[in-house]
Amino acid sequence: MTDILIQLTHGFVACLSPVHLTLLFFGIVIGLLIGVLPGLTLVMGVALALPFTYQMDVTASIILLGAMYVSGTYGGAFTAILFKIPGEPIDVPMLWDGYTMGRKGKPAKALGWTLVAALGGGLLSAIVMVALTEPLAKFALSFSSPEYFVIVMFGLLSVVAIGKGSLANAFISMSVGILISAVGVDPIYGAPRFTFGSPILADGIEFLVVMVGAYGVGEVLTRLETGFATQPIEKIKNARTELPTWKELKEVKGMFFRSSVVGDLIGLLPGAGATIASFVSYGIEARFGKRRKEMGTGVAEGVIAPQAAATASVGGALVHLLALGIPGSGATAVMLGAFMLHGIQPGPQVLVTSAPMVYTIFASIFLGLFLMCAIGYLAIKPLIKILDFPEAVVSAYVLTLCFIGALSIRNNITDLWLIIAFGVIGYGFERLKFPIAPLVLGVILGPIAEDNFMNTMISFSNDWTVFFTRPISGTIVAFTVIVLLLPFIQKLRAHYLATA
Amino acid sequence: MDKTLFRSILPYIAGLAIASGLYWYATMIEYTPRPGSLGPGAWPKLAILLLAASCLFEIVRRIIVGNRDATGLIEAFEREEEEPVQKTPVYPRMLIGGIVLMAIYAVLLPYLGFIFGTFLFLVAFMYVGGFWRHGTVWLTSTVVTLLTGILFLRIAYVSLPRGVEPFAMATDVFFKIPSLW
């Protein structure tokens, strides 16, 4: 424990360097702006920022992306409370009580509750993140290729299982992602796969191209099809934040803690993320909370529950990204990409080889939370000014960033074509209700899964039962099956109870 | 077969056909076999089989369920749909215009260079997107191009297409700006 605290102190010192502080500040501001803008999602924003990090060292790039991730869970609350526009899907539950509280003449109070919830939930999750990462990483050091393979598959299949819509579509999306990642020269045999004779495809398809194309270009095309139809926004003259009193805080401390723990636990589940945390936490308060009957009428609990859980999920998601190398959400998948761009594979070894970097990232999350609240408190008026920009202008700029992202990989026009192609594919997926998250995760995790699968097959003479017979991998396989089957069992049970 | 039903299973039929093609392609991968090794096609084949099985499952499920409500086990595979979104009018011409514009951008970029090409793209995209305030269009395009050029060419040092003469001059101007480092 003392060792962790010493390392964390070193992390704070490193984080206070001018470069890191500047990046933290910009990350927070950009994350808040992304949260405020309804057309830009958190994952898309983090993905768009990835090309900017090429020239940075890995610590600086993760500080920037981490700051965006944390503050992106908070910025959308402004527009949800003031204008009934959820900047992010995370903020939908904020409409039910946050906006209602605003309509009752207390928007400043609602914003104050949001700020406290984001800070409290975020800090708790940051503490959990620091406490859990090292023990989990130490435990993971005993893993071999079969364990890694099943963990990666657990991460992939959790994303498939937890999402909404058709399960088959999610599987199709994941398979396509894995297939895209298989394009290029095979790492074990050196044989070209699915290159169709093209030299550029022999290098493989960069995950950045798929990610930025599907999320960035695809989203712009989806919105272009609707003619950038956004509802007109009423002008708010006096947007400000009013912090709750100690007495008010004491009254909600129990549910505050509960919501933060729920967010953290959900963040720890691969594939879940801030949106699910926000909805589940609100649902728990609406069902079991002290003032459950008043939920939806503009009560503080309805604002605290989703916000605290959403921000708290960040720490949980970062735990298994750093300790196991498995991203728990879309945004952490992009962060995994940033690590890989700099030749670092997160996982148990990262705390052995790059502990100062990991603790600097931890420290940046703590500092980022305070900075986020300070900026959110002081700069709410200029932040929501961004809503005055026409969507066509913002989208044109987003596309420019996507194109720069493509060109910055290897200054090759083929990547630009690929990003446009994946944009169209992303739009098609959205239109046909195929989820994009499994596609992107498939592209990122596919090579890791393949490496571990092939190594297992070579080491264990093609005996595939090894995944089930080894204690740790067998347990993870059982968990995976439970995660996949649970929604069906619940639905079947509900069906038979209803018909009985 | 019902027209609506056929339309709904069409993407999965296409998926199945693509999976079959790719599986055949995966069997043709050339490599030097080693005894007891699975070969470079093994992993992609697993992904293709998963793709084909998912497509096949969805086709069968939709054919069985048809337009009726699903029951029993089949119902369990229909998860809750996302919140129904308000129907907004769609503009396919705008969408096609946007895609065509991006394609033109990709074709012309090596000739026009990043600065000039992006400026024209920004202007054109805003018009295609139905934003017709001329002053704002030209002004924001100019500002965004200048800022992007400074940020990426002089600060982040990203290598971007220079273009051919005389358009390359637009990029060269940025290299005359003193760099931060």
- pLDDT (tens digit, 9 = 90+) per residue, A229-271? 655 555 556 667 788 888 888 888 888 889 998 888 888 776 6
Q: What is the model's pLDDT at position B69?
A: 45
DSSP strands (E only) in A166-300: 184-185, 192-193
Q: Is B69 on the interface with A (CB under 8 A)?
A: no
Query: Which of A95, A391, A416, A459 to mutate: most B Cβ within 10 Å?
Result: A416
**Of A309-323, A350-364, A445-459, A485-499, minimum mean pLDDT range:** A485-499
DSSP character at residue A342: T
Of B25, B39, B157, the CB nearest to A194: B25
Of B80, B103, B125, the CB nearest to A420: B103
Q: Is B16 on the interface with A (CB under 8 A)?
A: no
Using alpha carbons, list the distances in angstroms from residue A340 to A58, A181, A334, B62.
Answer: 9, 14, 10, 41
- Model confidence at B23, pLDDT cuts 50, 70, 90, reads very high
Tell which residue, A174, A163, A44, has the closest CA to residue A441.
A174
Burial A202-230 (b: 16+ CB within 10 A, else e): ebbbbbbbbbbbbbbbbbbbbbbbebbee
> Any residues with CB less than 8 A from the CB of A36 and at least 6 apart, and which?
A75, A76, A78, A79, A87, A383, A384, A386, A387
Q: How far is B138 from chain A (nearest CA, A)?
A: 11
The Cα B29–Cα B39 span in angstroms is 9
Assessment of whether the complete model's pTM goes beyond 0.90: no
> Any residues with CB less than 8 A from the CB of A229 and at least 6 apart, and which?
B88, B89
Q: What is the model's pLDDT at position B66?
A: 65
Chain B residues near residue A392 by CB distance under 8 angstroms = 125-126, 129-131
The Cα A326–Cα A66 span in angstroms is 16
- pLDDT (tens digit, 9 = 90+) per residue, B140-168? 999 989 988 887 777 767 778 888 888 88
Tell which residue, A62, A156, A145, A5, has the closest CA to residue A480.
A156
Q: Is B15 on the interface with A (CB under 8 A)?
A: yes
Reduced to 3 states, what is the DSSP secondary structure of residue A163? coil
Whether pLDDT at A287 is above 80: no
- Model confidence at A428, pLDDT cuts 50, 70, 90, reads very high
Whether pLDDT at B180 is above 90: no
- Model confidence at A422, pLDDT cuts 50, 70, 90, reads very high
Whether pLDDT at A40 is above 70: no
Please name the residues between 18 and 57 in chain B that touch chain A, using a CB distance below 8 Å. Answer: 22, 25-26, 29-32, 36-44, 47-48, 50-51, 53-55, 57
Instruction: Point out which residues pair with A184 in neighbouring strands.
Output: A193
Query: Which of A225, A427, A495 to mutate: most B Cβ within 10 Å?
Result: A225
Reduced to 3 states, what is the DSSP secondary structure of residue B83? coil
The Cα A309–Cα A284 span in angstroms is 11
**Of A272-281, A452-461, B16-25, B106-115, minimum mean pLDDT range:** A272-281
Residue found under tokens 């298994």: A320
ipTM beyond 0.85? Answer: yes
Reduced to 3 states, what is the DSSP secondary structure of residue A170? helix
